[in-house]
Structure 1
């Protein structure tokens, strides 16, 4: 299911403002890639370009190429809705639909894609997605309760279940643990480790320990100053990035000297 993504000479604009400049990156399949860097350096902006979510902002555009297994995600005949089906997204704060049941939350994306299925198939998909998100045993007896009735950590795993129910090939996670307590954070991190067996995962995080724990590869973004574009400074295997970074700016950020 998982796919490789090749990003080449990639620039991201909001109107005339160059937000992210010159990104070259390879995201390997069945791996976790962490994007780190100070606030405002373009990590989340870049992440959203990988499933064309940034296009919902008027004036947003890109230059360059992002290939998923050889297909340009920005090709002229590529449907952005199809890109978002293949590249799922989990946001910083859990956002289950509060008036929908837990089961209907899982099925929301599938229904949005106009997939019709029998009640039995729907029930099987709900169980499969919730098991995939390590949530089934906790909610199987209350699937008709509102998605907002469970804890914050459970809601975030419900959002992951909703994302994987549509069978994407890539999962993007924008600081998925920033609003969670340490126990819920650990549950999400364990889940990420399990999910990479089937998915290509890209995670934005401000937590250096989290990046070191869950990722195989780490990319460090930085910004030269206010009004300047964010840039990918360095990218390498996580173990090397955290022990022997090539760039002093990377070392300073990881060691807490700035950011």
Structure 2
């Protein structure tokens, strides 16, 4: 299911403000790519361009191209809703739908896509998705209970189950562990390692240790100052970024000298 992402000459704008400038990047299938950099450097904005989520803000647009296996996400006539079905997203704070049961949370995206599924199909999707999110054994006896009744770490895994239920090709994660305790964080990191067997995964993180633990490739973004666009400074194998980066600013950041 996983796909290659090719980004070419991408500039991201919010009306007249250029938020991100000149990103070129190729993300290989079945890998984990981490975006790191100081706050406000455009890494979350860029992440959202990979499934056109930034377009929910009025006036947002891009220049350049983002291709998944050669298909331009910004091509003429491409439906953003279909893009978001292909490229799932997990947000910083767990956001299960508060009025829905665990089961209905998992199926929410499937139903939103107007997909008619039988009871047995629904059962299969729920079990497969919760198994995939390593949550099935913890919740299989209380699927009709509210999703909000789970712990923070379980809620985040429920959101991951909801994202993978629609069988996307790519999974984007915007700081998925920042609101979680260390034990829940470890569970999500272990899960990411499992999920990359099926999905192309891109994660934004402020946690340098997390980036070094979970990712195959790391992209360092930086910003020249307030009002300047975020830029991709360096993109390489994670081991290289953390042990032998080619740009001084990358070394300063990963060693904790700034940011």
TM bucket normalised to smaller: over 0.9
In 2, Cα distance between equivalents of 1:241 and 1:43: 16
Displacement after TM superposition at 1:215 (Å): 0.1
Q: Deviations over 1:36-85 (max 9, x none)?
A: 00000000000000000000100000000001000100000211100000
Aligned counterpart, 1:50: 50
1:214 paired with 2:214, answer yes
Residue 117 of structure 2 corresponds to residue 120 of structure 1: no
Partner of 2:194: 194
Distance 2:238 2:201 in 1: 14
Matches within 5 A, 1:51-70: 51-70=51-70
Q: Report the secondary structure of 1:66's partner residue.
A: strand
User: Could you tell me how far apart the structure 1 residues matched to 2:235 and 2:2 are?
Assistant: 21
Q: Cα deviations across residues 198-230 of structure 1 (Å, max 9, x unaligned)?
A: 000000000000000000000000000000000
Shift >3 Å, 4+ stretches: none
CA distance in 1, matches of 2:137, 2:122: 18
Equivalent position SS for 1:168: coil
After superposition, residues 1-259 of structure 1 pair within 5 angstroms as 1-259=1-259
What do the CA deviations read for 1:172-223 (whole angstroms, capped 9, x no partner)? 0000000000000000000000000000000000000000000000000000
Q: Give the whole-Å Cα distance in 1 for the aligned partners of 2:168 and 2:252.
A: 36
TM-score, reference length from structure 2? 1.00
Aligned length: 259
CA RMSD of aligned residues (A): 0.3
Structure 1 residue 253, shift from structure 2 partner: 0.3
Distance across 2 between alignment mates of 1:53 and 1:247: 31
Whole-angstrom CA distance in 2 between matches of 1:240 and 1:78: 37
Secondary structure, counterpart of 1:24 in structure 2? strand
**What residue ranges of structure 1 are gaps of 5+ in the alignment?**
none
> Could you state the TM-score of these two structures normalised by the residue count of structure 1?
1.00
Give distance in 2, aligned partners of 1:210 and 1:71.
31
Q: Distance between the aligned counterparts of 2:209 and 2:11, measured in 1?
A: 29
Gaps in structure 2 of 5+ consecutive residues: none
